[in-house]
Amino acid sequence: MLKARFLQNIFLVIVSYVFYGWWDYRFCAFLLASSIVDFLVGRGLGKTEKPLFRKGLLLISLTFNLSILGFFKYWNFFTSSLNSALSSVGWHVDIITLNVILPVGISFYTFQGLSYSIDVYHRKMIPVKNLIDHLCYLSFFPQLVAGPIERATHLSPQVLAPRSFSSLLAVDGCRQMLWGFFKKMVIADNLSLIVDRAYAYPQYATGAQLTVATIAFAIQIYCDFSAYSDIAIGTARLFGFDLMQNFAFPYFSQSIAEFWRRWHISLSTWLRDYIYIPLGGSRVSPFRRSMNVMITFLASGVWHGASWTYVIWGGLHGALILLEKVWTSEQTLRVQDVPGGTSILPKPKVLLRMLFTFSLICFTWIFFRATSLSDAMLIIGKIVTETVRRSSVGSVSELLQASPFVQNSGVVALVVLLGSFILLEWLQRHQAHPLVIGHWRTYIRRIVYTILFWVTLYWGTWSTGQFVYFQF
């Protein structure tokens, strides 16, 4: 076992680059280049106090990182949009589109690298003196490709501090990893087949099928993305690192604003601290505040993908938050508070708020999941206009058969599985994750772990694709 911190960091850098290069070794070049540029910018910021030089160095980091991100992720989107716009006014210009591979997780490590440069510029931390330590910070493999998006002020000090193996952290990390594998393999992957079947050809799906598929996608993307965060956090604990919480039971939120305090917390707080607050935050006029909210959420949509559907998805969330502010001035719960209150059963008013908020979120997910804007409008039209028919139950049952779990165990078993999952999350919502059950009797804990382990092996889907957020 490596005891020297520097040797530990060298080992982590090596395994992280092997891990990242497993997809395509060429991806490592961009990760390395981004790391070196940010490291040199940080060193430069630490040696000068001249405002003009400091701004110039920060601009180098911003330009370099955002240029790489923009080229790989948005070049074809902007060129295609520009071609369409010019064609609509009679100008036929063929701007070249490129067939390039999007480096896995580029949005995540780009934002993490910018966090370092910006925080050093604002003197929130001192620059890292050793390149290996900075490479370790930016390439740390558990959260490299899908987050959480760590802040330099949180993760970098852990990279620089002495670390030793902790059995308590390791055991809890294994529990969280087990919960993550269960959510991904049993719930998310089974639901993904149902969603894909309806959303691939929405013109052939019924309104009832699309409604069920949309709800299924809401559960799928939560279980898929939060599962990766659980696995990343748990794996990091095996190496003595503490990554930030990325999800805090978001579907128990009573408003869209609260939802964004609980969903993808590392991204929402990044956008808040590096876009919303620098724009003026809420310390400006109501109109400027509204503009700041919309800019922040449109940036969130663009970050997720190069498509107008993602832009609309982000804009809808911004608009809903602004409408909530007009509709009620009542403060929603903070992420530190227990979602839905501390009672075993939610109060009727609280339950209605949660269901209404979940319904709004499901509506916005249509734009996130649909392959095109026309498909999204078609899906919404079918859901809204088609009435419930006698064949609805049959069509929904036919859709659910796309899942191997349903094929082997039946629709009722799927409903029981999802109900048990929601119930366990509700009962454990005051914990960091549902398997924080150290206060339970030992034999009960072992039964729970054993059941989850075998359920994951037996009903887990082994042939589906990668995590959803790998594409971002």
**pLDDT for 152-211, tens place per residue?**
999 999 999 888 888 888 889 999 999 999 999 999 988 998 998 999 999 988 888 899
| Model pTM above 0.75 | yes
Q: Are residues 375 and 441 in the same domain?
A: yes
Give the span between the Cα atoms of 216 and 448, in whole angstroms: 25
The domain boundary, picked from 138, 162, 186, lies at: 162
Distance of CA 68 to the CA centre of its chain: 21
Give the span between the Cα atoms of 397 and 299, in whole angstroms: 39
Q: How many CB atoms lie within 10 A of CB 344?
A: 7
- Asked if residue 385 belongs to a domain, the reply is yes
- Asked if residue 426 belongs to a domain, the reply is yes
Is it the case that residue 390 has pLDDT exceeding 70?
Answer: no
Mean pLDDT over residues 106-129, rounded?
A: 92
Q: Are residues 363 and 218 in the same domain?
A: yes
Q: Are residues 151 and 191 in the same domain?
A: no
Tell me which H or E stretch contains 348: helix 348-369
- Asked if residue 19 belongs to a domain, the reply is yes
Q: Are residues 381 and 451 in the same domain?
A: yes
Q: What is the pLDDT of residue 80?
A: 62
**DSSP state letters, 4-66:** SHHHHHHHHHHHHHHHHHTT-TTHHHHHHHHHHHHHHHHHHHHH---HHHHHHHHHHHHHHHH
Distance of CA 458 to the CA centre of its chain: 27
Domain containing residue 230: 168-254+333-471
Q: How confident is the prediction for the chain on average, in pLDDT?
A: 86
Q: Are residues 158 and 52 in the same domain?
A: yes
Q: Are residues 236 and 113 in the same domain?
A: no
Number of compact structural domains in the chain: 2
Is it the case that residue 220 has pLDDT exceeding 90?
Answer: yes
Q: Are residues 50 and 148 in the same domain?
A: yes
pLDDT digits (tens, 9 = 90+) for 223-242: 999 999 999 999 999 999 99
Contact 106, 73 (CB under 8 A): yes
- Asked if residue 295 belongs to a domain, the reply is no
Is it the case that residue 357 has pLDDT exceeding 60?
Answer: yes
| Catalytic residue list | 304
Record the tokens describing residue 277, joined without a space.
């607050």
- Asked if residue 272 belongs to a domain, the reply is no
Half-sphere exposure of 264 (CA within 13 A, CB side): 18
Q: What is the pLDDT of residue 93?
A: 57
Give the span between the Cα atoms of 368 and 222, in whole angstroms: 13
Give the span between the Cα atoms of 163 and 68, in whole angstroms: 34
The domain boundary, picked from 162, 178, 208, lies at: 162
- Asked if residue 2 belongs to a domain, the reply is no
Mean pLDDT over residues 326-335, rounded?
A: 61
Q: What is the pLDDT of residue 342?
A: 81
What band does 92 get if pLDDT is binned at 50, 70 and 90?
A: low
- Asked if residue 35 belongs to a domain, the reply is yes
pLDDT digits (tens, 9 = 90+) for 404-419: 778 888 888 888 999 9
Q: What is the pLDDT of residue 219?
A: 95
pLDDT digits (tens, 9 = 90+) for 17-60: 999 988 788 889 989 999 999 999 999 999 888 989 999 999 99
Q: Are residues 456 and 339 in the same domain?
A: yes
Give the span between the Cα atoms of 185 and 191, in whole angstroms: 10
Q: Are residues 185 and 49 in the same domain?
A: no
Q: Are residues 157 and 238 in the same domain?
A: no
Q: Are residues 182 and 119 in the same domain?
A: no
The domain boundary, picked from 162, 187, 203, lies at: 162
Q: Which residue has the higher pLDDT, 90 or 354?
A: 354
Q: Are residues 47 and 106 in the same domain?
A: yes
Give the span between the Cα atoms of 424 and 44, in whole angstroms: 50
Strands (E) located in 126-275: none
Q: What is the pLDDT of residue 78?
A: 62
